[in-house]
Chains A and B, each alone.
Chain A
Amino acid sequence: MDGFAPELGVDLRAYAVGVRSFLTSTAALEEWRSVHYETTADRIRHEAGLMGVLHDAGWSRWGWPESVGGLGGGLVHRATLYDELAAAGLPIPQPTLMLETLGPALVRFAPHLAARHLPAYLRGEEWWGQGFSEPDAGSDLAGLRTRATRDGEEWVVSGQKLWTSHGETAHRFVCLVRTGAPESRHKGLSMVLVDRDAPGVTVRPIAIAGGRSELAEVFYDDVRIPGDQIVGAVDGGWSVAMYLLQFERSVYGWQCAAVALSRVRELVIAAADLAAGSGIPDGLTRRLGEVYTDVMTLRAKSAQTVRRLAAGEPVGPEASVDKVLLAAVEIGLYDLARELLGAGFLAGTDVVDTAWRDEWWYSRSATILGGSSEIQRTILADHVLRLPKEGVA
């Protein structure tokens, strides 16, 4: 079956079967298997090429409306594709992580911008960064200070964003900025789309421990943007951000679970090598079992959340459970890898060893990004359990 067959839009099982057979039988995909990259920029660019192949064959266009270059269908199509990619030993292309975070909000709140730019994003010809965090606004996002000021038909953006993933190579940034009074907190925020090549945008890459430039600091010095690059209502940025966070917290969890499952398989192979050699250290068999069980559990919880989102139901504070489970999987899995690989993890020279080290460091961000572990627990305590709040000023 080819990736454009109309019944794929309604028959999810047929879609899953079709994707799987495409991914496992297409010789052109070999160049994305077991690749190790020198830099994050190389990786993003090369994996964007995989988006192009999936797009041309139709498969990755399912799940997106026709107005943005898609073929229709829904979020479950996309979630299926990511899962099948990981199962087939292929990467979930890096640019899709941000696409899943930013794309749905754009489709919903700025259909004109989505129609203008998402087709190229789906083809892997461009990708974006998310400019929320700032030096003084991390967990407390509503404290952010980057400003957008109206000037006739245009807006002028000034300020500084920090920790922008993929910032080094991103073509555009979706930024949360202040349009209200300095003390307006979440009421005076707006979401804007800024082109990277607009005058006044400067990007300084930031290396995550291990040395890869995963992040960036982005400076906006009187950057002029047209009035139609506001996503949603002026001063309505917080509700756009909250809508977006639902996807960030759940689809990202599903993508991570898919990758984690294939990493578990790799660890089983590494453990078999150990068992044949020096033996598996005490307790690690049990931890392998725990990690697998946690991955399976994350899939179960995340699938429920993704299905609810796909059905258009709002996902509330309970989605913080997904994030707690995700953090447990990421930390548990990569700590286990570190211990199983032992000295090889610390000092091995193989590209595979380097990859495990880089991924170990990246796994630490599971308790930080998109709301830290502490913040997720506070959300559950405040909004689900309705415990009295810790005296926040």
Chain B
Amino acid sequence: MTVLDTEARAAVAESLRDVFADDSARDLAARLDELGWDEVVNEDPETATTMLFIEQGRALASTSLLDDVVVGALDPALTGHGVLYPSFTSVGAGVLLGPVDDLERVLVPDARGVRSVPAAALELRPLGGFDRHSAWQVVVGALPDGERVAGDWVAAEAAGRRAVSAEIIGVCRAALDLAVQYTRDRRQYGRPLGSFQAVRHQLAESYAAIEAAASALSAAWTVSADPALAPWAARSAKAKAGSAQDVVLRRTVQVLGAMGLTEEGPMHRFVERGATLDQLLGSHGQLVEQTGRDLLTGTPAHPVVQIWEDTP
């Protein structure tokens, strides 16, 4: 249930943009504290989380905020632990969202639950590769032993997927804004590019894909307290956000012409971030494949959305 009204949201969004644009030495946590972020979260967790991650995506910021969401859902007593994300296992044991300098312990999900391992024992290398601007780290070498911790990884993963969905939506919105501005301004054949139907349709389709992902995400939030449905709906929301980045970014690149493909402009950064976020906690291809398999093996095709629910 969302409680922040439109005006309050606009104000929060603006403050968050300032937070991510702030390149002073103060760390992100201090900046969010100054904003009284905890209060906003308590008041309206859905809006707060979604807006925070949308702005993180827009800003192409690479932070460990997702750890707080995941750990908070796992067991608030573990706050301050890092998380090893099981994606990217074909290149290592998993990824961390940043270096472990400030971390003592890292939570590692596995088939039996979650264990806590000493951060200092992890051997890391920067993720690099396609998205050279993220702070992410790949764990190389074997994982150290650790003690089991209580908490439900499935619920934590669902919370993480909702947050990453919002981040992907933010990446897509910023890319679309850029493409809309560019095609309004640039003229060829004596007309703005944005007046050619082939360009207009691509951007309109991008908009529809982003809105679809945003709706799927809000549906996932309506069932977030239901332990059975929350993971199911969060998976669909993440799949939809992941496919939106595919639909949107290939179009926003295309309408920029050569500019979209080179380091002369920023568009490639959105493509690169969108791709890594899609992989985090399951790519859209993997997630819909899993959903299809579940449906074929007896999971009911749940309606998720009830028209009588959440009417303001």
Contacts and interface: CB of A to CB of B under 8 A. Distances in A.
Interface of A: 133, 136, 138-140, 143, 162-163, 206-211, 215, 278, 281-283, 338-339, 342-349, 353-354, 357, 361, 364-365, 367-369, 372-374, 377-378, 390, 392-393
Contact of A343 (B88, B197, B268): B88
B145 to A, nearest CB: 25
A377 B258 contact: no
A349 B128 contact: yes
A343 B87 contact: yes
B72 to A, nearest CB: 26
B279 A346 contact: yes
Nearest to B256: A368
A342 B292 contact: no
A132 B15 CA distance: 46
Contacts of A347: 88, 91-92, 95, 127-130, 138
A49 B244 CA distance: 45
Contact of A207 (B128, B260, B263, B276): B263
A367 B88 CA distance: 30
B168 to A, nearest CB: 15
B36 interface: no
B90 interface: yes
Nearest to A363: B261
B271 A209 contact: yes
Given A139-B188, A346-B275, A368-B258, A357 B129 contact: yes
A365 B260 CA distance: 10
B128 A377 contact: no
Contacts of B125: 349
Contact of B263 (A139, A206, A348): A206
B196 A365 contact: no
A347 B292 CA distance: 28
A209 B127 contact: no
Interface in B261-312: 261-264, 268, 271-272, 275-276, 279, 283, 285-286, 289, 292
Interface string B198-209: 110000000000
B263 A282 contact: no
Contacts of A211: 132, 263
Contact of B292 (A140, A282, A361): A282
B263 A346 contact: no
Contacts, number: 116
A208 B261 contact: yes
B91 A348 contact: yes
Contact of A392 (B91, B92, B191, B275): B191
Contact of A357 (B130, B197, B258, B264): B130
What 4 A-B pairs come out closest when comparing CB atoms?
A: A209-B268, A393-B190, A140-B188, A374-B198
A162 B271 CA distance: 23
A163 B268 CA distance: 16
Contact of B254 (A281, A349, A367): A367
Nearest to A350: B91
Contacts of B141: none
A209 B188 contact: no
A206 B262 CA distance: 7
B279 A209 contact: no
Interface of B: 87-92, 95, 125, 127-132, 138, 187-191, 196-199, 253-254, 257-258, 260-264, 268, 271-272, 275-276, 279, 283, 285-286, 289, 292
Nearest to B246: A335
Given A138-B188, A281-B289, A339-B285, A346 B198 contact: no
Contacts of A138: 188, 257-258
Given A139-B257, A209-B268, A392-B189, 4 more contacts: A143-B188, A347-B128, A349-B128, A372-B257
A211 B263 CA distance: 7
Contacts of B257: 138-139, 368, 372
A365 B289 CA distance: 30
B258 A133 contact: yes
Nearest to A142: B189
Contacts of B261: 208-209, 361, 364-365, 368
B139 to A, nearest CB: 12
A353 B128 CA distance: 12
Contacts of A368: 254, 257-258, 260-261
A378 B189 CA distance: 13
A318 to B, nearest CB: 20
A211 B88 CA distance: 23
Given A143-B188, A282-B292, A346 B268 contact: no
A35 B167 CA distance: 38
11 contacts: A162-B258, A163-B262, A208-B261, A342-B283, A345-B129, A346-B276, A348-B90, A364-B260, A364-B261, A378-B198, A393-B190
B254 to A, nearest CB: 6
A162 B88 CA distance: 38
Contacts of B196: 374, 390
B130 A365 contact: no
Contacts of A140: 188-189
B243 to A, nearest CB: 12
Contacts of A215: 258, 262
A343 B253 contact: no
A208 B263 contact: yes
A207 B264 CA distance: 7
A210 B268 CA distance: 9
B48 to A, nearest CB: 30
B191 A208 contact: no
Contacts of B92: 347
Given A138-B188, A393-B190, A346 B130 contact: yes
A342 B129 contact: no
